[in-house]
């Protein structure tokens, strides 16, 4: 559920009419609903009730300062995957002891940054990383708390590019080698094992892969404890999917996901961490665009929008579906017709949807992409020298620009000419 509903025939973000924002900031833009972010956090809190837990919001899904500050105020920790994200979390006021650091390629500099600023744990993904981390921590006179990310060889049955828990994926250490790697960790002076980490992929629409992976983590917990390791924390990753196509999908509910956690690892006395990104921010955002032209082609009509693949790359990159709706609600019983919905960028990949049924759309009409709050703005670029688009946050009847649209000069002047030019 989200807070983007029609009121008097006009799409609203909470109590703010979308055309009002469009008139103020211009199109295209992203708009986020604080009530929806809060609701999703609350749903996870309820799902994990009765278990000692920390919800570490996966910032990579949407790392605007206003979004992470809102999540932090709710009590969320953060899952970061780069030094930049770590500094963003700190800048939004998140204490170091609520930040977990994931990722396969942490540099020594990023490790230093996090050790100096404070960190809850590093989720270590390989033996060379563990050796490097131990050295870096020692050089600072510190001991780094770690979990080791295990790769359970479970197929998340999601899109190829966001599946991370099979043995051919680059993530984690094979679970079959975990005992050996934990033994090595115990012998390293600069790291201290606190638990186990797993993350098998994103946009999972079935609970079974979680159940399989978490069952393996539970077995490993018992085994490692027998080997003498203190396992007090289980980081179970993110990945729960959202309904991108509302008429035709019903991904599992967080409450049922919570039951899987309770059933598989709930009796181990461990603190549970989860790292949801998409399920927190995805349905909390819209991308709003305006129709530049309606072009009647041979056998098909194109809606040419002022938003493009550089603003929202998911359809081009993953073949992803976004529900696309008119901002002015169609009259009841209005006829629908199929459109190809495209942006102005000079490649055919810049297609958001083909033969999508919509009521008649005219020039200058506003269009909204649902479920665009996650992996939208954060993956955008200035391809075709299209400046990044603004981000707006709504709370009740108020809205605020949380990232302004850069001017063309801002964009151009970031480049510098070599002295010989």
Ligand X SMILES: *Cc1c(COP(=O)(O)O)cnc(C)c1O
Site for ligand X, rule CB under 6 A: 58, 60-61, 79, 102, 199, 202-203, 237-239, 275-279, 374
Cα(332)–Cα(72) distance, integer angstroms = 42
Q: Which ranges in 287-396 belong to alpha helices (H)?
A: 314-318
Of the pair 16, 312, the CB lying nearest ligand X is at: 312
Q: Which two tokens stand for residue 49?
A: 């009730």
For residue 58, say if its preceding peptide bond is cis, omega within 30 degrees of 0: no
Q: Which of 67, 23, 92, 83 is nearest to 377 (CA)?
A: 67
- Least Å distance, CB 100 to ligand X, is 9
Which DSSP helix (H) or strand (E) runs through 127?
Answer: helix 127-139
Least separation in angstroms between CB 60 and ligand X: 6
Half-sphere exposure of 211 (CA within 13 A, CB side): 10
361 neighbors 325 (Cβ within 8 angstroms): no
Q: How far is the CB of 280 from ligand X (least distance, A)?
A: 8
Residue with smaller CB distance to ligand X, 120 or 199: 199
Rounded CA-CA distance 408/130 in Å is: 44
Element (H, E) at 196: strand 191-197
- Phi, psi angles (nearest 5°) of residue 349: -60, -20
Out of 23, 346, 404, 412, pick the active-site residue.
346
Q: How far is CA 305 from the centre of its chain?
A: 25
Is residue 346 annotated as a catalytic residue, yes or no?
yes
What pairs with residue 57 in β-bridges? Answer: 78
Nearer to ligand X, 203 or 371 (CB): 203
Q: Quote the radius of gyration of the chain (alpha carbons, Å).
A: 23
- CB nearer to ligand X: give 3 or 60: 60
* Residue 301 CB, nearest approach to ligand X (Å): 34
CB-wise, 61 or 134, nearer to ligand X? Answer: 61
CB of 373 to ligand X, least distance (A): 11
Residues with catalytic function: 346
């Amino acid at each position: 559920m989200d807070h983007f509903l029609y009121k008097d025939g006009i799409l609203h973000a909470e109590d703010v009419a979308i055309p009002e924002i469009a008139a103020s900031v211009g199109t295209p833009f992203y708009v986020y609903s604080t009530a929806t972010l809060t609701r999703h956090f609350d749903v996870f809190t309820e799902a994990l009730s009765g278990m000692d837990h920390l919800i570490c919001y996966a910032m990579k899904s949407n790392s605007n300062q206003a979004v992470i500050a809102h999540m932090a105020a709710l009590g969320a920790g953060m899952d970061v995957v780069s030094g930049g994200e770590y500094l963003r979390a700190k800048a939004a006021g998140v204490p170091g002891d609520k930040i977990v650091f994931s990722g396969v390629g942490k540099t020594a500099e990023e490790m230093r940054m996090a050790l100096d600023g404070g960190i809850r744990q590093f989720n270590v993904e390989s033996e060379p990383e563990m050796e490097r981390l131990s050295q870096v921590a020692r050089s600072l006179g510190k001991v780094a708390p770690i979990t080791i990310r295990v790769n359970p060889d479970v197929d998340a049955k999601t899109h190829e590019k966001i599946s991370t828990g099979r043995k051919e994926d680059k993530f984690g250490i094979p679970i079959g080698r975990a005992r050996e790697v934990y033994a090595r960790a115990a012998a390293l002076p600069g790291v201290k094992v606190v638990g186990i980490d797993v993350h098998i992929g994103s946009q999972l629409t079935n609970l079974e892969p979680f159940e399989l992976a978490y069952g393996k983590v539970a077995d490993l917990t018992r085994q490692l404890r027998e080997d003498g390791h203190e396992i007090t924390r289980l980081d179970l990753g993110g990945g729960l999917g959202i309904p991108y196509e509302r008429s035709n999908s019903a991904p599992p509910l967080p409450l049922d996901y919570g039951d899987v956690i309770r059933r598989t690892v709930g009796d181990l006395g461990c603190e549970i961490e989860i790292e949801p990104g998409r399920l927190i921010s995805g349905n909390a955002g819209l991308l709003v665009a305006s129709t530049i032209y309606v072009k009647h082609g041979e056998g098909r009509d194109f809606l040419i929008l002022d938003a493009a693949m550089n603003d929202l790359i998911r359809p081009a990159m993953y073949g992803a579906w976004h529900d696309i709706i008119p901002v002015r609600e169609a009259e009841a019983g209005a006829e629908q017709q199929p459109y190809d919905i495209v942006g102005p960028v000079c490649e055919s990949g810049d297609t958001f949807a083909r033969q999508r049924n919509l009521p008649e759309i005219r020039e200058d009409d506003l269009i909204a992409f649902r479920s665009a709050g996650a992996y939208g703005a954060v993956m955008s670029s200035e391809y075709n020298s299209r400046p990044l688009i603004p981000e707006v946050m709504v709370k009740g009847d108020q809205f605020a620009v949380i990232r302004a649209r850069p001017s063309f000069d801002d964009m151009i002047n970031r480049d510098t000419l070599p002295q010989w030019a």
